[in-house]
Structure 1
């Protein structure tokens, strides 16, 4: 039988079953974007002839990583909002006020390319506007689980304790843009692009608009991608406006169900996390971002223990500094071991499942990706086991490939990325776009943002201004 592609490797991690689904010396037969069989190499070669045979003799193959929550547009402001008590208002906002649409698109290109280089094949991007991001996702070939931001709160630097001001027209227009994005892009490109609905948070939109968003998402059978109990700032806003914390407030309004993709849960109690998990909602955990900007380990283990599905996310580069799920796997294991003072908590294999099949289930794409098995799409990555970070290689009496990937790798080990059975990245090069051409105006645009933001930076970014004055940055 003639097919499109055969991928051969000594080590394949299918992620089938309850563990990592390891198989040795097998091959993956792919045709028209789908995996049609995984079997011993000699059996696959007997049954199929392929247009392309990818022989990965010194590699391990995994399902492509799922990044459940990203703000790639903010990569244009990388490294500007760490080490401050209020990263959003005093770190980020002075620069956001001077960042243009074309700057954000450049940031998205930068963030998406970075994610692909580090093994991400499904991006959970969240921003405004998203039309041009969809175009780029289409061109570069990555899988997109994309969300348009819906926001009613006015853009300005709010002082601690100040209640957000709502602009009803702004909220209505952003919902209309989300609906238009859905109508144009949802399930396009053979289902490679999906569109979610994105109210920025229960504190950033009115109750009326939040409920309308849920209705629109349910009608269209997609998810609500919502920052949920994401910090003490949100909790303060909700208590001042409604007299209740976020999760009990959402529960009263029947907002907690399988439609909800709840991001962060930073300020959630363990009991609140259990409530969300038992409702059927999923969680996205961004350990690097929340660790850096809040110094908190969210209750993901409690969420999982209550039967909930958790995906990993890289969030945004101003706070987290990178879009790298390998980094998030390491941090989720490390932070939970420290939190619970137990080195056996959150083993490497469990973090890998969060980056693949469990993450796919959380964000609603496990029907097509997250594991390597017949009938699913051909989304996979190859890890070069010859890299020093993956050496030495043990297979008996214990395999050390997964621990090395989670605890030692940095991302440069990703030698190949495939989506829908098509190679989109190979040995440092994208196959469908030219990286230098996409980023050619980066330095010029960054210099303009910095110049325009100088006055607001000096007025609001107190700790960073102090660092600059003292020569510490």
Structure 2
């Protein structure tokens, strides 16, 4: 049978089964945007022919990584909000006041390029201005599962003293909701299915009960998922107790949110009982170890969630306080932090971290029928990783195999040589093929210069961050 591309003589990690589905001398045959076959190289070469054959000697072929929770529009503010207590109020808000929708788009493209070069093929992007940001995914050729960030709070919410109830404005919520509906009706299942949409309630503390119920009904109408922060911090729990007399998770149970439609992001403040309740409800958990570790100093309860038989995925979250939108970073963090949390080096093995960034992530976001593993009939979203990079060398296959642990504990992302999405290389032999990377960096820098210049007078006078800057600690 004639196919378009054959990658042969490679180590292949299919992610099929309960482990990583390793094939030592493997090959993948691709036609159009689909995987036609995955098998031993001899079998593939005997049964398929192609004018384009890629020699995968000393390479690893694996499914593309899935970033299940990212706010790419915040990429324009990378690194402005860490090493402080109130990361949002003290660090982020003084800059956010001066960010325009155009700035969001520029920062988004920067984040997307960063992710692609480190092997991310699918981005669950959850941000404001998504009807414009989504065009970045069209240009760059990545897969995206997008949602508009919907809330009823004003842009100057950072000025509200900590502990006071957030004001809600229905006109703000309605405008953002209409953007989410427009996003869905304009973009869902477009670009050959690369772009799909969800609904994005910001959090149970950020909107009225009426709007939450309306978004739940819309998710049911359009048969999609709800991407939402849940129990993401002590501020949220404080708001919920003051407004409803209930913590977030019992409240969500009461209004019918805890089911398979919900992507519950963070669960940072969830109790063990609440974590188990979410897991058993069928809702998925998205864990962002790098972000929550840096901005909160907390290890989210993903291990407890998995032990309760929940479906979970990894995300990189936001660049202002995580700095790094790289799924290799998230795989390493989630494994190491949970080993430390349990004081047990045997828990959270490397292969589990890889699954949470591939096939388990695909299950969580509802796309496992199309992506997440290398299998006949699935979309051809895959990576070619150079195993001769120092961080992946030497390769040992007997008596144990070291590729998977090195992928999690050693790789940094620069080992990714090529990235294919929907059967097309968008990053090939370490060159981005679809957009001008230097131009993206330059335009983002110009926007960041303007924003930071305006933000100088907005940093709180008593800010821990400002004091450290005065002492030249940053």
TM-score range, shorter chain: over 0.9
Query: Is contact 1:125–1:144 with CA below 8 Å preserved after alignment?
Result: yes
**Correspondence 1:344-355 to 2 at 5 A:** 344-355=346-357
Match among 375, 387, 402 for residue 400 of structure 1: 402
What is the CA–CA distance in structure 2 between the aligned matches of 1:225 and 1:345, rounded to whole Å?
28
**5+ long unaligned stretches in structure 2:** none
1:153-207 superposed Cα distances (whole Å, 9 cap, x missing partner): 1222221101101110010110011000000110112211111100111111111
State the alpha-carbon separation in 2 of the partners of residues 159 and 399 from structure 1. 54
Distance 2:177 2:9 in 1: 46
The equivalent of 2:102 in structure 1 is 102
Which deviations, in whole Å up to 9, do the C-alpha atoms of 1:76-110 show, x marking residues without a partner?
A: 10111101111111110110011111111111000
Q: 2:177 aligns with which of 175, 178, 185?
A: 175
Matches within 5 A, 1:258-337: 258-337=260-339
Query: Which whole-Å deviations, capped at 9, do the CAs of 1:42-82 have from their partners, x for residues lacking one?
Result: 22222222242222211111110010000111111011110
**SS of residue in 2 equivalent to 1:425:** strand
1:38 aligns with 38
The equivalent of 1:365 in structure 2 is: 367
CA deviations over 1:259-294 (Å, ceiling 9, x no partner): 100000000011101101111100100000000111
Partner of 2:472: 471
Q: Secondary structure at the match of 1:102?
A: helix
Give SS of 2:373's match: coil
2:343 paired residue number: 341
Structure 1 CA distance for aligned equivalents of residues 8 and 417 of structure 2: 14
Structure 2 distance, partners of 1:67, 1:198, is 16
Partner of 1:141: 141
- Cα distance, 1:458 vs structure 2: 4.2
Partner of 1:197: 199
Partner Cα separation in structure 2 for residue 40 and residue 267 of structure 1: 47
Q: Distance in 1 between matches of 2:445 and 2:120?
A: 26
Matches within 5 A, 1:188-267: 188-267=190-269
**Partners of 1:36 and 1:18 in 2: CA distance:** 22
CA shift for structure 1 position 10: 2.5
Contact 1:9 1:60 in 2 (8 A): no
Task: Tell me the distance in 2 between the aligned counterparts of 1:234 and 1:46.
Answer: 59
Is contact 1:378–1:420 with CA below 8 Å preserved after alignment? yes
For 1:439 and 1:197, locate their aligned partners in 2 and report how far apart those are by CA, in whole Å: 30
State whether residues 10 and 55 of structure 2, in contact with CA within 8 Å, keep that contact through their aligned partners in structure 1: no
4+ runs deviating over 4 angstroms:
none
1:303 deviation in Å?
0.8
The match for 2:457 among 440, 455, 458 is: 455
Across the aligned residues of Structure 1 and Structure 2, the Cα RMSD in angstroms comes to 1.0
How many residues align structurally?
472
Q: Is 2:104–2:133's contact at 8 Å kept on the other side of the alignment?
A: no
SS in 2 for 1:424: strand
Question: 1:221: Cα distance to partner?
Answer: 0.8
Match of 2:438 among 436, 439, 442: 436
**Cα distance per residue 1:100-126 (max 9 Å; x no partner):** 111111110000000011110001111
Show the counterpart of 2:416.
414
Deviations 1:244-265 (A, max 9, x none): 1000010011110011000000
* 1:17-52 deviation per Cα after TM superposition (whole angstroms, max 9, x unaligned): 011100121211111111111122222222222242
* Residues 337-378 of structure 1: CA deviation (Å, up to 9, x unaligned): 010000011010110110110111111111100010111111
Q: Quote the Cα distance in structure 2 between the aligned partners of 1:286 and 1:126.
A: 14
Q: What SS does the aligned partner of 2:286 have?
A: strand
Check whether the contact 2:110–2:444 (CA below 8 A) recurs between aligned residues: no
The residue matched to 2:228 in structure 1 has which SS? strand
Give distance in 1, aligned partners of 2:411 and 2:176: 40
Whole-angstrom CA distance in 2 between matches of 1:303 and 1:182? 30
Residue 71 of structure 2 corresponds to residue 71 of structure 1 = yes
